[in-house]
Amino acid sequence: MILPENFRPSRKPDELLREVEAAIKVRDIGRLQKWRDTIEIQWWESFLVVLLFIAGLGFIITIYKLLPAENRALFYFVFFWFFLFTLALVASVEMLIAKISALRGLIQWQEERIERLEARNASEGRSKEAYQAEDSESNSTDNP
């Protein structure tokens, strides 16, 4: 976060603390927004999964048609390993996509949790301030 040139920080400690906390929160919010935009679900991701499945199936069909069928043992050996390789490749990419989806869910859950904690902290802070104000008023009225 870049401060304007005419910005002069407050000399009062409470105001300075609030300004610094606000600047830190603004920077953190900007960074969080950038990361959220990076992992946000895109329209083409579902298309990519379908395309990956079709490409894997196309590879398997291609190798099935290109392998010479004279030696059946060699045919099944090569086809099995190619099938296994294609299956592992597609499964790895699918697992990576599932992990990214879980990461998105985790980030959403953490954001909700942080918002609840901040709301609870704010309400506790208000009730604590009200209690202190009430206590100071009762002390001032008790001492004439």
CA neighbor of 59 nearest in space, from 84, 91, 34: 84
Strand locations in the chain (E): none
Tally of structural domains, the chain = 1
Domain for residue 137, yes or no?
A: yes
Domain for residue 6, yes or no?
A: no
Domain for residue 138, yes or no?
A: yes
Domain for residue 33, yes or no?
A: no
Name the residue with higher pLDDT: 19 or 130. Answer: 19
Integer-rounded Cα Rg, in Å, for the chain is 31
4 C-beta neighbours (distance < 10 Å), count: 6
Lowest mean pLDDT: which of 5-14, 33-42, 95-104, 109-118?
5-14
Domain for residue 12, yes or no?
A: no
Domain for residue 54, yes or no?
A: yes
3-class secondary structure, 43: coil
Query: Residue 122's domain spans which residues?
Result: 43-142
For residue 10, pLDDT over 80 is answered with no
pTM for this entry: 0.53
Instruction: Measure the CA–CA gap between 27 and 95, rounded to whole angstroms.
Output: 33
CA neighbor of 116 nearest in space, from 106, 104, 124, 128: 124
Name the residue with higher pLDDT: 35 or 135. Answer: 35
Domain for residue 11, yes or no?
A: no
State the pLDDT at residue 1.
Answer: 55
CA neighbor of 56 nearest in space, from 95, 85, 97, 96: 85
Q: How confident is the model at residue 125 (pLDDT cuts 50, 70, 90)?
A: confident
State the pLDDT at residue 134.
Answer: 65
Domain for residue 38, yes or no?
A: no
Q: How confident is the model at residue 4 (pLDDT cuts 50, 70, 90)?
A: low
State the pLDDT at residue 140.
Answer: 58
Instruction: Measure the CA–CA gap between 99 and 93, rounded to whole angstroms.
Output: 10
State the pLDDT at residue 142.
Answer: 53
Instruction: Measure the CA–CA gap between 17 and 25, rounded to whole angstroms.
Output: 12
Q: Rounded mean pLDDT of 56-64? A: 87
